[in-house]
Amino acid sequence: MSLTIECKPRPEGVNPRALRRDGLLPINLYGHKGAESDSFVVNYKEALNLLKAATPNETLVEVKTPGWSGSAVIREIQSHPWKRSLYHLSFFHTDAA
């Protein structure tokens, strides 16, 4: 089973709370451009479905962005302590296919 998530560029100057209110989840992608990281947004429900099927730091996820596509692992999940609503995801690019 292949896990894939589609990312869109994160709008400049938009508060993360406003993104979540609009059904989007902010994410960061590290390691695909050396030391640089890029900010994106994904559909909140797609991210929830991905997290049900993936294990952080273990499961390879196909990440598709407007200018790049490759495999990554979920490095960090930020969520509310007791509500379990997601705040943020971090992905780290890996060369393994």
Helix H, strand E, coil C: the string for 23-77 is: CEEEEEEEEEECCEEEEEEEEHHHHHHHHHHCCCCCCEEEEEECCEEEEEEEEEE
Q: Considering only CA atoms, which of 54, 49, 53, 61 is closest in space to residue 92?
A: 61
Q: What is the pLDDT of residue 31?
A: 86
Q: What is the pLDDT of residue 2?
A: 81
Read off the DSSP letter of residue 94.
Answer: -
CB 20 within 8 A of CB 78: no
Give the pLDDT mean for 63-83: 93
Q: Which domain holds residue 48?
A: 4-93
Confidence band for 67, pLDDT divided at 50, 70 and 90: confident
Q: What is the CATH number of the domain that holds 57?
A: 2.40.240.10
Number of domains comprising the chain: 1
More confident residue, 67 or 60: 60
The residue assigned the tokens 């509310």 is 80
Residue 68 has pLDDT above 80, yes or no: yes
Q: What is the pLDDT of residue 97?
A: 56
